[in-house]
Amino acid sequence: MTLEATLRERILMRLAQVIDPETGVNVLQMRLVEDLDVNEETGEVRYTFRPSSYLCPLAHSLAVDIKHAVAEMPGVTAQHITVTGYVKAEELTAIINQDNV
């Protein structure tokens, strides 16, 4: 019998490879991704992205990198992302949840 990693575990492993270019530290260690909720049956993923500062100049690019990393995981069917702690949180939330981003 082999033990296979859950979708949540695979997402966490992938997110550990997303590096903040300003600090050289991965987004999990920096606690930029919070409240990760993965529905293993439907493949829907929900999480909060909290940039490292209220005026983070890399917030948009980091949000895109995180979204793409999660989307690469086989089994992920949808993402629902909430941005918080950022000057343009509502605007970035709307942008990052578009399908073409």
**Any idea where the domains of the chain sit in the sequence?**
7-96
Please list the residues that pair with 37 across neighbouring strands: 46
What pLDDT sits at residue 3? 64
pLDDT computed for residue 1 by the predictor: 43
pLDDT in tens, 31-66: 999 999 999 999 999 999 999 999 999 999 999 999
Quick: pLDDT tens for 7-37: 999 999 999 999 999 999 999 999 999 999 9
Q: Map residue 68 onto helix, strand or coil.
A: helix
| pLDDT digit string, tens, across residues 70-90 | 999 999 999 999 999 999 999
Q: Do residues 71 and 10 make contact, with C-beta atoms less than 8 angstroms apart?
A: no
Instruction: Give the residue among 41, 30, 23, 28 at the shortest CA–CA distance from 70.
Output: 28
Dihedral, 93, 96, 98, 100 alpha carbons, nearest 10: 170
CATH number 3.30.300.130 given to 7-96: yes
Q: Rounded to the nearest 10 degrees, what angle do helices 59-71 and 89-96 cross at?
A: 30
